[in-house]
Amino acid sequence: MTTTITRFAPSPTGRLHVGNIRTALHNWMLARKAGGRFLLRIDDTDEERSREEYVDAIRTDLAWLGLEPDGEERQSQRLDRYEAAFEALKAAGRVYPAYETAQELDVKRKIQLGRGLPPIYDRAALKLDDDHRAAMEAAGIAPHWRFKLDHDEQIAWIDGVRGAQKFDPAQLSDPVIRRADSSWLYMLPSTVDDIEMGVNQVLRGEDHVSNTAVQIQMFTALYAAGFAAAKPLPDFAHEALLIGREGKLSKRLGSLGCDAFRDAGIEPEAVIALLARIGTSLPVQPIADRDELLQGFDLSTFSRAPAKFDEGELDRLNAAIVHQLDHADVADRLPEGMGVEAWHAIRPNLTHVGEAGEWWRLVTGPIDQPAFSSEDRAFLGEAVAALDFSGEDPWHALTNALKDATGRKGKPLFLPLRQALTGMDHGPDMRELLPLIGEAEARARLEQAAG
């Protein structure tokens, strides 16, 4: 059987945002479920905008999410391969030089649109003879290079999300693959890398659908030109893009990434649980077990409708995930001295692990007690005498004794005790919290409250 190989190909021109993370996750899941390989490809051919700090950030973010790749390639180290592919296509007559400026191309597009025509490149550069080209270059006008689409070869594939896709290449512009300064655009390097990295599953956003149509011809042209031994094309799938909660494209989604999630105290498991299933027919649930998420992962569940990202839903998932975490999962992030029993007591009250210190203060003190009525002070004085740590459950021993002695029950019984012992009206289960406070400190707090 062929090993499934997927890739995530970010450009290091900024931090990963939530849409990038979702693409990385789904490629990781596609590979892992099939027992295949998930590769990271750093698309850093844009020397002006690429930054090494962003390469490091991409690796850090993927590691934080638990999406570490099985291999990594950098396009900046593969320029000789793109040059070889370009020369092969040039010899085969599948690339050609064009000399129009950006302004000239923009005028052409506006004229076409004004006439109700699609803004497709008119292939004027193909009509230039050698003398015209020589004159252009003598004038110091360096060409950009376009890939010549085969208008006789219809483009079709079965998309893993969108189903049957068909494009008429005559309705597409011949794409620019190389700039006048000899730098590369996305199309050719990506195709070369997919061939040489053995990528056979390409899963990306639906904004790449027309790119796929072009790249399908690019694959076949490279094989025909002898650049590489022919093999089956990858399977392509294009998932719907993310939108905001209000149903509109959100600018915030473009800046919301792992650094923002970490700063907000979001667990990576919550991010994974949400992004694994939004935009699918499967319910979004606080599932921290990756294997369980992988079992349900299937491209057939993906919807073509835009996927809605809701930060409020992420917060709710995060709280539910935190309530599942064991002490060992968070021990390095907890206050000193906060052990297993304390984590178990405090965990149900948390929405973020970082809040644990606030609740741990109820144990370590100091606390601020409210002012009590004379009746409650008398009641708390009886609590001092009734406090008994000799059994396994000092809280219920205390409340049962006070209930029998005073006739109090419900809120009049429990609330003054909680306020005296913690300074709060609500909080962790007192059955678990009181032993953590300890007998001496509990007695001191009750005595202080009783006046």
Q: Does residue 428 share a domain with residue 351? A: no
- Indicate whether 207 belongs to any domain: no
pLDDT by residue for the chain (451 residues), tens only, comes to 789 999 999 999 999 999 999 999 999 999 999 999 999 999 999 988 999 999 999 999 999 999 999 999 999 999 999 999 999 999 999 999 999 999 999 999 999 999 999 999 999 999 999 889 999 988 889 999 999 999 999 999 999 999 999 999 999 999 999 999 999 999 999 999 999 999 999 999 999 999 999 999 999 999 999 999 999 999 999 999 999 877 666 667 777 899 999 999 999 999 999 999 999 999 999 999 999 999 999 999 999 999 999 999 999 999 999 999 999 999 999 999 999 999 999 999 999 999 999 999 999 999 999 999 999 999 999 999 999 999 999 999 999 999 999 999 999 999 999 999 999 999 999 999 999 999 999 999 999 999 8
Angle in degrees, 0-180, between the axes of helices 356-364 and 430-437, rounded to the nearest 10: 60
Same domain, 357 and 396: no
Q: Give a yes or no: residue 428 inside a domain.
A: yes
Domain extent, residue 370, equals: 365-450
In a domain, 337, yes or no: yes
pLDDT at 252: 74
Same domain, 380 and 442: yes
Binding residue per annotation — 409? no
The two structure tokens encoding residue 274: 């949400």
Residue 21 lies in a domain: no
Confirm whether 298 is domain-assigned.
no
Q: Same domain for 384 and 439?
A: yes
Identify whether residues 418 and 433 lie together within a single domain.
Answer: yes
Residue 16 lies in a domain: no
Q: Is 120 helix (H, G, I), strand (E, B) or coil?
A: coil
- CATH number of 406's domain: 1.10.10.350
Residue 370 and residue 443 in one domain: yes
Query: What pLDDT sits at residue 421?
Result: 97
- State which of 363, 391, 424 marks the end of a domain: 363
DSSP letter for each residue of 240-259: PPEE-TTSS--GGGGT--HH
Is 185 inside any structural domain? no
The 3-state DSSP class for residue 10 equals: coil
pLDDT value at residue 255 = 78
Domain count, the chain: 2
Residues 336 and 386 in one domain: no
Question: Which residues share a beta bridge with 308?
Answer: 243
Note the pLDDT of residue 30: 98
Instruction: Say whether both 346 and 411 belong to one domain.
Output: no
pLDDT of residue 247: 67
Is the same domain home to 356 and 382? no
Q: DSSP of 132-171, one letter per residue?
A: HHHHHHHTT-PPEEEE---TTS-EEEEETTTEEEEE-GGG
Is 345 among the domain residues?
A: yes
The DSSP symbol for 386 reads H
Q: What are residue 105's phi and psi, to 5 degrees?
A: -65, -40
What are the C-alpha distances in Å from 437 to residues 138, 314, 324, 341? 86, 33, 24, 12
Structure tokens belonging to residue 116: 């109700």
Q: Are residues 353 and 394 in the same domain?
A: no
**What's the angle, vertex CA 325, arms to CA 319 and CA 331, rounded to 5?**
115
CA 38 – CA 219 distance, rounded (Å): 21
Full-model pTM: 0.91
